[in-house]
């Protein structure tokens, strides 16, 4: 446990790729930095098998990339502690971070707590996670080249990712629980015009089945006829929503209506001395590369911010 009285220049909340990069940049600028995480450093990369779209590596296992980022992030003195952060308070120019383990103080805070994909909560979903069940087409689509895949959902993400997958897969079946899509009209038009994309309407996804090693199909119930069918598939991409992990930051005035954190291009939120990066930001592409880029920017921005303090 770290001494509570110590005041840091920067506290980074969340030690995923974004947070670790911010810690690297800030500590290399000679700022004192503390990273706090309620899990293992590495963030979502710990749940990722092969990563094939992080430059510098043809393919690397998620936990290994997490370890390498951690080794890099701590080489200039950034510290790391386990803590579940419950809130941020403002006290003049001080930023106070409350956690289950105690209270920490800094001149600036970087929020890098990431986001969580909503689950269907059906049999097979957890069992085949990383073995055919995915929540990220850009991450995993290439593993399903020339194979049949199913996309579950009907919003913008489901349709966008379905179109993306159609460039790789032999066939994409979009399974939706209603009789029309919620996605923007332009996306709908593109999907309807794509020969490789088929739709199953009024379908309640009930189970993901496999051969114990990998996914082989998706079971759904036709809500009109009540009949149950199985679609053969090697991959199932689930897009039923994504939630920002910002439950601890409701009181500090940095969230938008959806619970995401908008920032300017320096990663500054609307509250001075609080920055946000990675999946938790209000943005479009949630990837390791984008989290890392934003982390570098925030690490530099906190330096500039602290220089400007009286």
- Site residues, ligand FAD (CB under 6 A): 13-19, 36-39, 43-45, 47-48, 51, 53, 84-85, 112-114, 135-136, 139, 245, 248, 278-279, 286-289, 291
DSSP code at position 168: T
CB 61 to ligand FAD: min, Å: 11
Q: Considering 37, 98, 116, 140, which one is annotated as catalytic?
A: 140
Q: What tokens appear for 98 in the block?
A: 């409350």
DSSP-assigned states of every residue in 63-124:
HHHHHHHHHHHHTTS-EEEE--EEEEEEETTEEEEEETTEEEEEEEEEE---EEEPP---TT
Q: List the alpha helices (DSSP H) in the chain.
A: 17-28, 62-74, 137-140, 156-166, 185-193, 288-308
CB 40 within 8 A of CB 13: no
Residue with smaller CB distance to ligand FAD, 204 or 287: 287
Task: Check if 189 is active-site.
Answer: no
- Which residues have C-beta within 8 Å of that of residue 75, sequence separation ≥ 6? 24
Distance of CA 156 to the CA centre of its chain: 17
CB 49 to ligand FAD: min, Å: 8
Paired sense of beta strands 115-117 and 228-232, if any:
unpaired
The strand ranges marked E within 166-263 are: 171-175, 197-200, 203-210, 215-222, 228-232, 235-238, 242-244
Q: Considering 9, 37, 139, 279, which one is annotated as catalytic?
A: 139
Residue with smaller CB distance to ligand FAD, 9 or 279: 279
The count of residues in the chain is: 310
Residue with smaller CB distance to ligand FAD, 53 or 170: 53
Distance CA 296, CA 97 (A): 22
Residue with smaller CB distance to ligand FAD, 62 or 273: 62
DSSP SS3 for 189: helix
Task: Check if 140 is active-site.
Answer: yes
Residue with smaller CB distance to ligand FAD, 31 or 277: 277
Distance CA 223, CA 141 (A): 29
Distance CA 296, CA 287 (A): 14
- List residues with catalytic annotation: 136, 139-140
């Amino acid at each position: 446990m770290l001494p509570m009285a110590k005041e840091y220049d920067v506290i980074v909340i969340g030690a995923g790729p974004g947070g670790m990069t911010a810690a690297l940049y800030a500590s290399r600028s000679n700022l004192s930095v503390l990273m706090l995480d309620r899990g293992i450093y590495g963030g979502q990369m710990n749940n990722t098998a092969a990563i094939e779209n992080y430059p510098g590596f043809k393919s690397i296992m998620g936990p290994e990339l997490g370890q390498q980022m951690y080794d890099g992030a701590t080489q200039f003195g950034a510290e790391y502690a386990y803590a579940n952060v419950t809130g941020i308070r403002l006290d003049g120019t001080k930023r106070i971070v409350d956690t289950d383990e105690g209270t920490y103080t800094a001149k600036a805070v970087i929020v890098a707590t990431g986001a969580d994909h909503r689950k269907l909560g059906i049999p097979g979903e957890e069992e085949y996670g990383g073995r055919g069940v995915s929540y990220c087409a850009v991450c995993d689509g290439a593993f399903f080249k020339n194979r049949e895949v199913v996309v579950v959902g009907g919003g913008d993400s489901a349709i966008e990712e379905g179109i993306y997958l159609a460039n790789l897969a032999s066939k994409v079946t979009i399974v939706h629980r209603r009789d029309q899509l919620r996605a923007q009209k332009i996306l709908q038009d593109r999907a309807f015009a794509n020969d490789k994309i088929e739709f199953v309407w009024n379908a309640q996804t009930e189970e993901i089945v496999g051969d114990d090693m990998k996914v082989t199909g998706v079971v759904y119930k036709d809500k009109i006829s009540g009949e149950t069918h199985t679609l053969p598939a090697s991959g199932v991409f689930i897009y039923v929503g994504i939630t920002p992990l910002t439950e601890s930051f409701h009181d500090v005035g940095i969230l938008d209506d959806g619970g995401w954190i908008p920032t300017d291009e320096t990663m500054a939120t609307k509250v001075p001395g609080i920055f946000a990066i990675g999946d938790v930001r209000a943005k479009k592409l949630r990837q390791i590369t984008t989290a890392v880029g934003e982390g570098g920017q925030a690490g530099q921005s906190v330096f500039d911010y602290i220089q400007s303090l009286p």
